[in-house]
Chain A
């Protein structure tokens, strides 16, 4: 017997609606929980002073700095490498076994737990290259971690640029590189930005890979060779060591705002870029 379409339709609406509702409620609950416990603790002093007694008292200024600098460093390293790889794979090579292997490799890398990257960074950058626990070790490790994401999103973005644009550019006596630079990349930029936002988000929230490579110093970093602690690591250590629940949640709340800010900034930049091009 066939279920009447009216009923399947009603069922679909209810089930799909319920799925959405549960998702939204979960998200709101998480954020509300963190903010409720964290926001009362946030003050100007909390944001602008150094921690005292391992974070039991005082603020989070060095970790705020670390949270800004590490992902920034990671993206500065990963973006050119990732976009370069994506351009090479899409525009300069034909689909063959080698490109398939590279693509398969990046997909695998994207799925590897971050602690493995942390371990690699610890062995390679910190120990073998002698960079020690430092911003540069952490930045490089995070860069490797987010590279697959950047490569794949950039590749998709580049592929979605109409082939006709490339033909037109070529017919106007542009070389491959001129076509990439003047036509392909500008049109792929919104998609590439998605990868950047995802990458920044991932590196802001990362703890395992960061502890192993950038360390967890609470001093203000003064150079790339200094160890630094990010807010995620700070939160983890405060909660894990039972140092201070209040400070831990306050840090988490700031972290939530930081991620929100990054996303807003990215959208704002993207819209401005699109608006500028569609006069």
Chain B
């Protein structure tokens, strides 16, 4: 399928026969796929196809729902994240998440960014200052807020809030960044800013981007996965998925015939 055009890449996350249930309802059906390191993996698919569930499986956010249950294995650098010896809190330090709606905590910009680092025990003001500047710069937000870091974060615009959330996630020094439709509520310019940030960030992080906007996947994803009704239909290089998909359903979806 790949016709040998891509070099062997390091696998960051390996998903094996993953099924996720909420009570009686099965949200993911026996998923098997590899997520390559230092690339952007786009996940596309219609509503309720299991995209968000999949994302929330990777940092065990589904654990918050007592009805949820995961079967199969999810290996992060070869270690099963659902193994009883693994701590969900430690996992979330390595796998960060940005939610669909910008969700700054009701505190200052500064406090938002250092929320994670402070929890990890970093108290030194100078060290925190460095983190704030570095991550806000990486999220393309530093220049807009550097003079008002003590301002309540809720007073930023939606696009700025979402970039703040990205910076806040980066501040934990994660290895993987999960983004759940991060631009769904944003205007095109803010979206472009986030996309610019992501294309730079993939040098250091493995990025998984769920998006309802197939154009966004085609713009910035290196690989794209198509989900449908809890199943992985197809995963391949973005260029291939959008030009010569193997599956008819993928073809129908990316050309806008349904979904």
A170 CA / B65 CA spacing, docked (Å): 12
> Are A172 and B99 in contact, with the CB atoms below 8 A?
no
Q: Contact at A277–B152, with CB atoms within 8 Å?
A: yes
CB-defined contacts of B169 to chain A, threshold 8 Å: 171-172
Note all chain A residues with C-beta closer than 8 A to B119.
172-174, 178, 182
Q: Would you list 29 pairs from A and B whose C-beta atoms are within 8 A, ordered by A residue?
A: A94-B66, A164-B99, A164-B101, A165-B105, A167-B99, A167-B103, A168-B99, A168-B103, A169-B105, A170-B61, A170-B92, A171-B61, A171-B92, A171-B96, A171-B97, A172-B116, A172-B172, A173-B90, A173-B92, A173-B93, A173-B119, A173-B172, A174-B89, A174-B115, A174-B119, A182-B119, A183-B105, A278-B152, A279-B151
Q: Across the two chains, which residue of chain B brings its CB closest to A163? A: B64
> Which residues 141-159 of B sit at the A interface, judged by CB distance below 8 A?
150-152
B61 touches A169 (CB 8 A): no
Q: How far is the CB of B124 from chain A (nearest CB, A)?
A: 19
**Is A175's beta carbon under 8 Å from chain B?**
yes
Residues of B within 8 A of A171 (CB): 59, 61, 92, 96-97, 99, 169
Complex CA gap A187/B66 in Å reads 24
Q: Which of B59, B101, B107 has the most CB of A within 10 A?
A: B107
The size class of the interface chain A forms with chain B is 20 to 34
A5 to B152, CA, bound (A): 47
B168 within 8 A of A: yes
B259 interface hit (Cβ, 8 Å): no
**A279/B150 in contact, CB under 8 A:** yes
CB-CB contacts below 8 Å: A224-279 with B:
277-279
Which residues on B sit within 8 Å (CB–CB) of A172? 92, 96, 115-116, 119, 168-169, 172
A166 to B96 Cα, complex, angstroms: 15
Task: Tell me the complex Cα distance, A167–B92, Å.
Answer: 12
**Chain A contacts with B in 151-191, Cβ cutoff 8 A:** 164-175, 178, 182-183, 186-187
Chain B residues positioned under 8 Å from A182 (CB to CB)? 115, 119
Please give me the residue from chain A that is nearest to B93 by CB atom.
A173
Interface residues of A (CB under 8 A from B): 94, 164-175, 178, 182-183, 186-187, 277-279
Q: Mark B104-129, 1 if CB is under 8 A from A, else 0.
A: 01111000000110011000000000
Q: Which residues of B contact A165 (CB under 8 A)?
A: 103, 105-106
Give the Cβ gap from B63 to chain A, nearest Cβ, in Å.
9
Query: Nearest Cβ in chain B — how far from A146, in angstroms?
Result: 28
B168-191 interface mask toward A, CB cutoff 8 Å, 1 = contact, 0 = none? 110010000000000000000000
Query: 5 closest pairs, A vs B, by CB?
Result: A173-B92, A171-B97, A172-B116, A173-B93, A168-B103
Task: Determine the distance from Cα of A258 to Cα of B31 in the docked complex, in whole angstroms.
Answer: 67
User: Which residues of B are found within 8 Å of A166, using beta-carbon distances?
Assistant: 64
Q: Contact between B168 and A187 (Cβ–Cβ < 8 Å)?
A: no
Beyond A277-B106, A277-B152, whether A170 also contacts B64 by CB under 8 A is yes
- Closest Cβ–Cβ distance, residue B114 to chain A (whole Å): 10
User: Are B107 and A167 interface neighbours, CB within 8 A?
Assistant: no
Nearest CB on B from A175, distance (A) = 6
Residues in A neighbouring B103, C-beta threshold 8 A: 164-165, 167-168
Separation of A166 and B116 alpha carbons in the complex (Å): 13
Tell me the bound Cα distance from A268 to B101 in angstroms: 34
Alpha-carbon distance between A172 and B105 when the two chains are bound, in angstroms? 11
Given contacts A168-B165, A172-B172, 14 further A-B contacts (CB under 8 A): A164-B101, A165-B103, A166-B64, A167-B64, A167-B103, A171-B59, A172-B169, A173-B89, A174-B119, A178-B119, A182-B115, A186-B106, A277-B107, A278-B152
Residue of B nearest to A172 (CB): B116
- Which chain B residue lies CB-closest to A168? B103
A178's closest neighbor in chain B, by CB?
B119
